[in-house]
Amino acid sequence: MKFISRNIINFLDANKIASIGFVDIENKPYCINCFYLFDEPSLTLVFKSSLGTRHHSLIKENISVAGTILPNAIDFLKIKGIQFTGKLMSVTEINRLGLSAKYIKKFPMSLAINGYVWVVKLEFIKLTDSSLGFGNKTIWNSEI
């Protein structure tokens, strides 16, 4: 597994809400905001989709997604944030890694919502962290 910066891991662990973008069959984009769990061993973001929502119909195994994560509290002088891309994992792989149980452990209130746990296998991450110097970027790419 390719080395990932501790700055990126710390940021993903410290925050909990992501915006994830999908594209429908007509190439129209649609974004959601959701609670996520970062699973470091698998380099994944785990989230839950409610049944009957528009985005639920857009979620399919192996589909490419993109998203952003901002800190829980924003300091405009030291802006931080992540942009990411990845692919949704298969249900078989999610179950094999026990990621649904990890998500429920972190967000037990999610049991009250009918839906499915989905997982983004991260392929690219860019962390902007101006606390390290204005516009400082740390980039991770699973391919390189």
pLDDT of amino acid 108: 95
Q: How many CB atoms lie within 10 A of CB 134?
A: 10
More confident residue, 144 or 44: 44
Separation CA 139–CA 144 (nearest Å): 11
Superfamily of domain 6-141: Electron Transport, Fmn-binding Protein; Chain A (2.30.110.10)
Query: What pTM value is reported for the model?
Result: 0.89
Alpha-carbon distance of 39 to 97, in angstroms, equals 10
Residue 112 or residue 2, greater confidence: 112
Average pLDDT of the residues in 63-87: 91
Q: Which residue has the higher pLDDT, 53 or 70?
A: 70
pLDDT digits (tens, 9 = 90+) for 20-65: 998 888 888 999 999 999 999 999 999 998 776 776 666 776 789 9
Using one digit for the tens of pLDDT, what is the confidence trace for 103-137? 999 999 999 988 889 999 999 999 998 888 887 89
- Token pair in block for residue 140: 């991770």
The encoded tokens of residue 40 equal: 């470091």
> Nearest-CA neighbor of 63 among 102, 124, 121?
121
- Residue 41: per-residue pLDDT: 94
Domain map (residue ranges) of the chain: 6-141
